[in-house]
Amino acid sequence: MMSDAAPALMPRYELHCHLDGSVRPSTVADLARLQGLTLNGPVERLVTAPVDCGSLTRFLTYIDVPLQVLQTPDALRRAARELVEDWSADDVVYGEVRFAPQLHGRRGMSQDEAVEAVSEGLAAGREATRVRTGLLLCCLRHQTAQESLAVAETALRHRDKVAGLDLAGDERLHSAAPHRAAFDLAHTAGLPCTVHAGEAAGPDSMWEAIEVLGARRIGHGVRCISDNALLERLQRDRIVLEMCPTSNIQTGAVPSLAAHPAARLLTSGLAVTINTDTRTTSATTLTKEFSSLREATGWTAEQEALVQAHAAGAAFASGPAAQVRPRQAGSDASASRRQPCR
């Protein structure tokens, strides 16, 4: 019999979380003050997107201010460390964070320095919380093939710290095909890849992510529901969907939580995972995501357990995340988490 109760002390796995969209508002304000920057309004209003954002283009504007303050190694270290702390508070035992190092050079910081800073912040967070982490680098659809190749080369120079490569951006406006060289390089080196697709555009963008870029996971992928051949391919190849319900509503990818395809796809045997996307921009946590799914769609404890198993099996960082075992009620949370993978 299926239970609609919230799962007790279930360890969670987050595969799709952007660093620049997950900086604490208080940290944005503090970094702005330390850097002598004047914010044009209350920080919460500047960094948190409304529920009815309506488009990915508008949604992304709420990351502008966090990006403005994340232009020093110290700022990146702090943001990464605090994200791991926030994961720990959200019962996350393994989290992957992604960012585009090429966006953090406004003050002269190199991509290598940016990767090192985020890696150091994650390490500090792991040491304090025992949450395991993975780091992904993002190529950007609107940038050139050469810029994406440089990101992939940066990832490979830091192969001991970087767990995967991503392509982010608006697929309505920019094809994935120009970035193939970067992803071919990653595949040759054994670096796993995920691609944002099926969010702002339809199934064709997901086919392109799979067949052109060789994606093992798809970021969002909510628009696959209308293409039966695509659904069969996703199921056959166990291509994981990194779905982010609150964000998917804000960007207009789905009209409402009740209409979100996660439950239907999960029931059909697809490898669905649930993520926050941007903890600050979307003002959410995994706890909130699953609570909202329970309230709006009758999501069950068994469904949550299944998506956690999918996420554990799809982790990019070395060392199987599935080795982290569920905590027992009354046990010490920090003691029950496994050692960090990096």
The residues annotated as belonging to the active site are 199
Q: What dihedral do alpha carbons 269, 270, 275, 278 form, nearest 10°?
A: -150
Strand order across the beta sheet in which 92-99 lies:
12-14, 92-99, 132-140, 164-168, 193-197, 217-220, 240-243, 272-274
Q: Using an 8 Å Cβ cutoff, are 138 and 166 in contact? A: yes
Output the CA angle 275-222-252, nearest 5 degrees.
90
Chain-centre distance for alpha carbon 213: 18
DSSP per residue over 7-47, as a string?
Answer: PTT--EEE--BBGGG---HHHHHHHHHHTTPPPSS-HHHHH
DSSP annotation of 160: T
Please name the residues in contact with 231: beta carbons below 8 A apart, sequence gap of 6 or more.
Answer: 224, 225, 265, 268, 270
Closest CA to 92 of 327, 268, 342: 327
Phi and psi at residue 142, in whole multiples of 5°? Answer: -80, -10
Distances in Å between the alpha carbon of 268 and those of 11, 164, 225, 235?
Answer: 24, 28, 11, 9
**Terminal C-alpha separation, the chain:** 40
Distances in Å between the alpha carbon of 177 and those of 184, 209, 212, 229?
Answer: 11, 8, 6, 21
